[in-house]
Amino acid sequence: MTETDRAALLRVLPYARRYARALTGSQQHGDALVAEALRGVLAATPPAGEHALRVAMYGAISDAAPYEDAGQEMTSVQRKLLLLTALEEMPLTDAAAALRVQVDAAEHELRVARDRLRAGAAARVLIIEDEPIIALDIQELVERCGHSVVGIAATEQEAVEIARRDPPTLVLADINLGVGGDGATAVARILTHISVPVIFVTAYPERLLTGDVTEPAFVITKPFDPTTLAVATYQAVTRGLRPV
């Protein structure tokens, strides 16, 4: 592998972690999948170029995920297609290539998966966001996804108080709350009282995807569209795929 391709692979890794964590619903399991996939890609002849490396890593992660479909609203292929096209913003042709399925079959499965998004368990969502207009936009998106909002918190302290008063089943948190504190700190305080899945929203997702410390299982990039939020909330509420 050339120095150029090695640098490209390092740029791909944070987003590979995001995909694997969202797929499994766990930082620990997701990062373990990335490590296994990376060994496989390096053991073979790695493709040249960042785009090809990205497709290869997503494909290796998907292959390494030992998860079943039984008893779930979506198959694992449908979940993977949703995550690759919405969360990772891959063209359908690349997502199909990563999963080794025909493009027309992938298109059909993706259409079915989108139809099934609203069939997932409804969540009671706490929104932590200090910008009022953005917070209201997020509330509208959350409710359009079939969830309800227990409260909107602009500060760290307000978030903790709302969570104690009316415990959510999902937290959607911005990282930077300006003068109101830190979203990650607010979440850490909330998690000392309740166990709840968390989706972090940030303009700089790579900062939360280093793999070096305790980091979120679900990270979406700001700004995001309704489909990205719908996919992330579905994965968070259902806690990802189930191990075989």
pLDDT in tens, the chain (244 residues): 678 878 888 899 999 999 999 998 889 999 999 999 999 988 887 788 899 999 999 999 999 886 655 446 788 899 999 999 999 999 999 999 999 999 999 999 999 998 888 766 688 999 999 999 999 999 998 898 889 999 999 999 999 999 999 999 999 999 888 887 888 899 999 999 899 999 998 888 888 888 877 788 899 988 888 888 889 888 888 876 554 4
Contacts of 13 (CB under 8 A, 6+ apart): 34, 38, 57, 209, 211
- Cα–Cα distance measured from residue 206 to residue 139, given in angstroms and rounded to the nearest whole number: 25
Q: How many other C-beta atoms can be found within 10 angstroms of the C-beta atom of residue 63? A: 15
Does 121-243 match 3-117 at the fold level?
no
Query: 203-210: long-range contacts (C-beta < 8 A, 24 or more apart)?
Result: 205/14, 205/15, 205/18, 206/14, 206/15, 208/175, 209/13, 209/14, 209/15, 209/17, 209/18, 210/14
CATH architecture of 121-243: 3-Layer(aba) Sandwich (3.40)
- Cα–Cα distance measured from residue 48 to residue 76, given in angstroms and rounded to the nearest whole number: 28
CATH architecture of 3-117: Up-down Bundle (1.20)
Contacts of 137 (CB under 8 A, 6+ apart): none
Tokens of 38: 């990376």
Q: What are the extents of the domains in the chain?
A: 3-117, 121-243
Whose tokens are 């793999």? That residue is 211
